[in-house]
Chain A
Amino acid sequence: MTGRFSVSNLGARYGRAVVLHDVALPALRDGEMLGILGPNASGKSTLMRRLTGEMPGPGDILLDGRTQREHGREGWRRAVAAAPQTPPAPSALMPTELMWSTARALGLALSDAELAARIEGIFDELGLGAVALSPLATLSGGKRQLVGLALALVRNPTLLLLDEPTSALDLHWRLAVLDLVRRRLRAQGGLVVAALHDLDLAARYCDRLAVLHEGRVLAAGCPAEVLTPDLLARVYRVEAEVSADPEGRPVVRALRAIDPGKGD
């Protein structure tokens, strides 16, 4: 089977500012995870917003042989779920209520008992059981980020989009979340696209990487091809050493910033 998911010629703009140019992403096969790398403001979140369908623009997004448009708004909503970079707002709402209203607003065909079981299962995996009925405002930023992930998982999507899912998490949960995502891919297949800040985590968990720089893809492919000292110098403006771990995946050690005063 060839790719289940591919993206080409993708563009995006805010008003007159074009922030994505002709973006093409490596095709993904079932069970694969794609990492989107790139410095701040390189367009990662915008790419995610194009993939969720919330933002219009040119380009071809293909999932299981059909374009985003052919899936239709409802079809895309059933197949794709995203955890945006901003975690759920700190309101008086309880995580369970938020999960529940999301599932019901989107029309998930589950009985109350099934829905409760699914929510509880996800909360258990994400360590949210103890705060399931506490106001979101009383949760830490990290916990709220986990609720954001839970909101995407409760929909059980084919394509899971994660925008910096680990940025507010401590070391344990950073690994635990990505482990969970991989476990899910192994167990039930599907696809994941994740914008990631941490190069080593990206190299370790992703099958494919694409590096964005000022709205263009500068490199794409498997981690060992993509993460080279050359590219790190160009995109992140750091001098870095790249070695390989025992399983052959690249490990990056940034040594120093290149010309911190000067622009590119």
Chain B
Amino acid sequence: MSEREATLLNRFTRIKRRRVHLAFALALGLIAVFLLDLSAGPAALGLGDIVRGLFDPGSLELRDRIILWDVRLPDALIALAVGAALGLAGVETQTILDNPLASPFTLGVSSAAVLGASVAIVLAPSIPAVPDHAILPALALLFALASGGFVLLVVRVSEGSRETVVLFGIALVFLCNALTAGFHMVAEAEAVQQIVFWTIGNLTKAGWAEVAMVFACVAVILPFSLRHVWLLTLLRGGEAHARSMGIDIARLRTMVILRSSVLAAFAVCFVGAIGFIGLVAPHLARLMFGEDHRLLVPGAALCGALVLSAASYLSKALVPGIIIPVGILTAVVGVPVLLLLLWRARRRA
């Protein structure tokens, strides 16, 4: 092999290696933020106690053990799982729709979930075989999945047209919001407050079962996403090229939207419509990993987990003694970050 030939591979490998190092740094950062999140809260449990209690639960007093294992760990873990799910769903949606502002939420998943939650709160229906406390997440999940189903139907009917899908998603958002507003009209003040609280999103209601479900959802879907990383990368070269290679774009689009709808539905049904993670995490990941989806896809999941975990920490640490709903923080922090990223992207283009 000539020296020049070695050079391209070397230079390319060097870039890839730097990105892998970044991914490791990101993972380490995630662990640090996760521990920080665990250490924050009304009860005085220091970082040392936390680490000790994680490896040797018996070393903590009963009260501290319960706080750590039954309160803080589920909250902190669901932040990771929801963040990862939203980051993953966001990056795939953005690529498949070739739209940096897209996220599963822009396709209506979260608005539908809010509508489902409103139905549960206002009508308080009882569903056989579903315990009362599970009705709200169940309906939120059902509505979110149903909206994903509608979007998939449109993908099918429009033979995978991007514009149609995005427009339909926007229409779905408006429709769900209008119906939710209808529920506001007829609901008691307390129910409205509950709906609003749920809409903002907060992590403190999660238990181990919820954590397990969201993690399972991510664990089942991630391998399918990873199988598509080459296709998603080459799709960034434009649809015309992908089509000329005989790649079935409509099918790819269907699979991605199916995946991200399910991810987003599971992510929001327990913790509410936490905004901006699905939008910001992919952009952060792109800054670190570029457009090579081999790293971008897992990277966006890591970024989502990191951002939501950090937001969860801040929600407890910012005002001592008060837990700010985490959705407020993701929006307050997410909007400026997003504007900054878009501004940078524009300047570079």
Contacts and interface: CB of A to CB of B under 8 A. Distances in A.
Interface stretch (B9-17, B35-43, B255-263, B316-324): B9-17
Chief secondary structure at chain A's binding surface? helix
Interface in B228-263: 230-231, 233-234, 236-238, 240-241, 243-247
Given A113-B1, A119-B8, A52 B241 contact: no
A137 B241 contact: no
Contacts of B4: 120, 124
A53 B243 CA distance: 9
A66 interface: no
Interface string A46-66: 001100111000000000000
Contacts of A124: 4
Given A92-B286, A133-B15, A97 B292 contact: yes
Contacts of B234: 98, 101-102, 105
Main secondary structure, interface of B, reads helix
Nearest to B14: A133
Interface string B275-286: 000000000001
B190 interface: no
A77 B238 CA distance: 18
B349 interface: yes
A100 B348 CA distance: 24
Interface residues on B, range: 20 to 34
B58 to A, nearest CB: 50
A52 B242 CA distance: 11
Contact of A92 (B1, B243, B247, B291): B291
29 contacts: A48-B244, A52-B245, A77-B246, A81-B245, A82-B244, A82-B245, A84-B240, A86-B240, A88-B238, A89-B98, A89-B236, A89-B237, A92-B236, A92-B290, A93-B291, A97-B233, A97-B291, A98-B234, A101-B231, A101-B292, A101-B293, A102-B234, A104-B230, A105-B245, A112-B9, A117-B1, A119-B8, A132-B8, A151-B237
Interface of B: 1, 4-5, 7-9, 11-12, 15, 98, 230-231, 233-234, 236-238, 240-241, 243-247, 286, 290-293, 348-349
Q: Which 7 A-B pairs have the closest CB atoms?
A: A116-B9, A89-B238, A105-B230, A101-B233, A86-B240, A84-B240, A93-B291
